[in-house]
Amino acid sequence: MRGRNDILADIRRNRPAFAAHAPSVPYYDDDYPQDSAGLVARFIEVLEKMGGAWAEPRDSETHEATLRRTLADRLPENAVIASTVPEIAGNRRVRRHDDPHTLHDVDAAILRARFGVAETGSVCFTEKELIVNAIGYLAQHLVVLLDPAQIITNMHRAYARDDYKNARYTVFHTGPSATADIEGVLVRGAQGVRSLTIIPVG
């Protein structure tokens, strides 16, 4: 049986000898707000429809205090908080070469999103933000720091970004995990994180 590399090599050798430019595809975002405040409002609206939460810090409130206030009824007293950002210390360090299995007991993971998408209320992570890719799925709760200035209109814009195209691993999270397969009842946190909270951080 021939291997994958042999098959791809044959395709490259037999490719027609002409250069055809890819067509120019529009962004289809003319009906989206073009100002930052409008995009943030659209993002929050869709985020909440998808079961996520927007946690605006109160006056003089630290990011740690916003986290504790927002998840007060969800985190146990001795919660394991794995943070990949300097703004919130957490009590579990995440290192690039950690075995993903060691993150099975994380109650809350604190991550920074590369950008947000107003169309879907999604946040984007690459391998640089996740450190260990599995943390975005093994944690019970996901708390995401997002710069409101990095909210874009739609997925067409997302796919055109250099940081999306150049990443080795990219994932979009849209609200907490959910399913409605059983008797049409919506259950959140079925196969992944039970909640997703966005804290705006400039």
When pLDDT is averaged across residues 191-196 and rounded to a whole number, the result is 90
**112-144 pLDDT, tens digit each:** 999 999 999 999 999 999 999 999 999 999 999
**138-149 pLDDT, tens digit each:** 999 999 999 999
Does residue 98 have a pLDDT over 90? yes
Could you give the percent of the chain with pLDDT greater than 70?
A: 100
| Residue-wise DSSP of the chain | ---HHHHHHHHHHTS-S---PPPP-----TTS--SHHHHHHHHHHHHHHTT-EE-PPPTT--HHHHHHHHTTTTS-TT--EEE-SSSS--SEE--TT--GGGGTT-SEEEEE-SEEETTTTEEEEEHHHHSSTTHHHHSSEEEEEE-GGGEES-HHHHHH-HHHHT-SSEEEE-SS-EE-TTTT--EETSSS-SEEEEEE--
| Residue-wise DSSP of 148-174 | GGGEES-HHHHHH-HHHHT-SSEEEE-
pLDDT tier at 54, thresholds 50, 70, 90: very high
The domain spans of the chain are 4-200
When pLDDT is averaged across residues 25-49 and rounded to a whole number, the result is 95
CB of 83 closer than 8 Å to CB of 135: no
**56-83 pLDDT, tens digit each:** 999 989 999 999 899 988 888 899 999 9
- pLDDT value at residue 177: 87
Residues 67, 144: Cα–Cα separation, whole Å: 10
| CATH number of the 4-200 domain | 3.40.50.10420
pLDDT tier at 15, thresholds 50, 70, 90: confident
Q: How many other C-beta atoms lie within 10 A of the C-beta of residue 183?
A: 5
Does residue 9 have a pLDDT over 80? yes
When pLDDT is averaged across residues 83-107 and rounded to a whole number, the result is 93
CB of 122 closer than 8 Å to CB of 87: no
Q: How many other C-beta atoms lie within 10 A of the C-beta of residue 162?
A: 7
Handedness of CA 112, 92, 133, 106 (dihedral sign): negative
When pLDDT is averaged across residues 148-176 and rounded to a whole number, the result is 95
